[in-house]
């Protein structure tokens, strides 16, 4: 009788465990290209030239191409991912202001972002936080080297799966970073807003 009770309890427990679905785990590599619509504005001040602040705003090269590569880990419909991107051009200001001359160019954007999202049918909704780097150059001030501290970027977006391998997407990105000019002691706070149309391939 004890053996029979044991067998009944064993089969009941086994059936109960198998009846519960384990979370579905999946991983995906992907890569693609995006079209970015970028707008950069800045305010610059100097403790040595406090009476001469200046402002910049990009007026050219505001539509640019970029590339991205990423990896997603799915636990059921929950997404955790990492993505890196590169963009050669970001924007150019051909007329920085009344007190400065030359052309200011922002280029060579590199970013790495950590994504959190949710998969709903063929849509993936996500938000992200990351760090990046960008290279500024100013034609009339090559003698004044500049540098940028690693900046934070943040945004959100949605991807739509066309089929098992291809997807399109849209995301909105916002970034603020500082440019420090070594010789003139100017500090430039730059605000960047971007809208990106994405097309990618899932492996």
Compute the CA torsion angle 4, 8, 14, 19 (nearest 10 deg): 160
Domain residue limits at 151: 24-202
Work out how many domains the chain is built from and give that number: 1
pLDDT score recorded for residue 183:
76
How many residues in the chain?
Answer: 203
pLDDT score recorded for residue 136:
84
Say if CB 166 and CB 201 are below 8 A apart.
Answer: yes
pLDDT score recorded for residue 203:
94
- With pLDDT > 70 as the criterion, what percentage of the chain qualifies? 85
User: Does residue 1 belong to any structural domain of this protein?
Assistant: no
pLDDT score recorded for residue 152:
92
In angstroms, the CA 142 to CA 115 distance is 37
Say if CB 87 and CB 66 are below 8 A apart.
Answer: yes
User: Does residue 90 belong to any structural domain of this protein?
Assistant: yes
Say if CB 71 and CB 42 are below 8 A apart.
Answer: no
User: Does residue 12 belong to any structural domain of this protein?
Assistant: no
pLDDT score recorded for residue 154:
96
Residue 101, pLDDT above cutoff 70: yes
In angstroms, the CA 86 to CA 88 distance is 7
User: Mean pLDDT score of the chain, rounded to an integer?
Assistant: 86
Which residues lie closer than 8 Å to 49 by C-beta, 6 or more apart? Answer: 184, 185, 186
Write the pLDDT tens digit of every residue in 51-73. 888 888 888 889 999 999 999 99
pLDDT score recorded for residue 19:
47
User: Does residue 84 belong to any structural domain of this protein?
Assistant: yes
Q: Which residues pair with 124 in a beta bridge?
A: 119, 159
- 33-47, 93-107, 119-133: least confident range: 93-107
User: Does residue 11 belong to any structural domain of this protein?
Assistant: no
- 153 or 2: which leads in pLDDT: 153
pTM confidence score: 0.81
User: Does residue 53 belong to any structural domain of this protein?
Assistant: yes
Domain containing 97 — which CATH number?
A: 2.40.160.20
Residue 27, pLDDT above cutoff 50: yes
User: Does residue 181 belong to any structural domain of this protein?
Assistant: yes
Write the pLDDT tens digit of every residue in 138-190. 887 766 666 676 789 999 999 999 999 999 999 999 998 888 887 778 888 89
């Amino acid at each position: 009788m004890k053996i029979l009770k044991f067998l009944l309890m064993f089969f009941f427990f086994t059936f109960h465990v198998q009846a519960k679905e384990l979370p579905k785990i999946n991983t995906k590599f992907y890569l693609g290209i995006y079209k970015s619509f970028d707008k950069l504005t800045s305010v610059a001040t100097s403790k040595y030239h406090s009476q001469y602040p200046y402002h910049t705003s990009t007026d050219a090269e505001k539509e640019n191409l970029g590339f991205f590569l990423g990896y997603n880990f799915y636990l059921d419909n929950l997404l955790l991912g990492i993505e890196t991107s590169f963009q050669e051009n970001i924007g150019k200001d051909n007329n920085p202001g009344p007190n400065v001359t030359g052309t200011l160019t922002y280029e060579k954007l590199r970013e790495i972002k950590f994504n959190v999202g949710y998969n709903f049918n063929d849509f993936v909704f996500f938000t992200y936080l990351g760090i990046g780097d960008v290279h500024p150059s100013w034609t009339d001030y090559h003698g004044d080297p500049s540098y940028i501290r690693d900046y934070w970027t943040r945004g959100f977006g949605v991807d739509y799966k066309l089929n098992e391998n291809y997807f399109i997407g849209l995301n909105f990105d916002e970034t603020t970073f500082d440019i420090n000019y070594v010789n003139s002691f100017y500090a430039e706070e730059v605000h960047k807003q971007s809208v990106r149309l994405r097309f990618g391939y899932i492996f």
